[in-house]
Amino acid sequence: MPRITPPPDPPTTTTTQPDALTLSQQAICQATLAIEAALDSCLDANPIYLTTAEKEAVLLRMPVLQARLTELNYRLLACAFDVADAHGARNVGDYLAHETHQAHGTMARELRIARELDSRWMHLHAALREGRVNLAQSVEIIRSLNALPDDLDAGVRRDAERTLVKHAEEFGPNDLRRMGKRIIDIVAPDIAEAVEGNASPMKSAQPANASN
């Protein structure tokens, strides 16, 4: 498996500053290396010796960290078409399924979610990046948003996204799923009856096709 090597430090002079692309490359690679090093440092640590307060604090932080790491993975997946091209794969999901021994269906779903977040649901994407929603909540929110009529006003669609993300601060995936089914009643009650009368059956929860 290829190893990540720290990018070289950019040359620093009084007149030359590292550009945004260089800083971005450094941040992602260095964060990945730091996470791996931090996990290596506690390989043999036994959490039984943590105090009750410490265990609680770590357990409460774990979902936030998992969400943020998942989002970074999605950010990479959404732009890694060049990785697939380099290996002659149909898409990066297929390549990773083979190389990391994961189910092709699982990686196809991951790629679809990554592309949805990157191209459509920017507010949800930001919330996942900041750890304000978890993956299970995100999946239900995407499912609800994808079920909205195609001709729905963009402003109403945006309000629906923001409202569901806001409610994710208090509600879990099951509640968000139920809320999503009546989200138009919540954000645009004046048009809800017309929308429900003209809406086609619930569209598939699957985001955009990941075959390309």
Q: What is the pLDDT of residue 193?
A: 76
Q: 119 or 6: whose pLDDT is higher?
A: 119
Instruction: Band the pLDDT of 46: cuts 50, 70, 90.
Output: very high
> Residue 204 above 60 pLDDT?
no
Question: What's the confidence (pLDDT) of residue 160?
Answer: 96
pLDDT classification of 192: cutoffs 50, 70, 90: confident
Single-letter residue type at 104: H
Look at residue 12 in the predicted model and tell me its pLDDT: 53
Share of the chain above pLDDT 70, in %: 83
- Measured distance CA(196)–CA(184) in Å, rounded: 9
What's the pLDDT at 16?
58
Identify the pLDDT of residue 8: 58
Q: What is the mean pLDDT of residues 128-152?
A: 95
**Mean per-residue pLDDT, 130-146:** 96
Question: How many angstroms from the chain centroid is the CA of residue 124?
Answer: 8
Whether the pLDDT of residue 9 is over 80: the answer is: no
Q: With a cut of 80, say whether residue 104 has pLDDT above it.
A: yes
pLDDT in tens, 144-186: 999 999 889 999 999 999 999 999 999 999 999 999 999 999 9
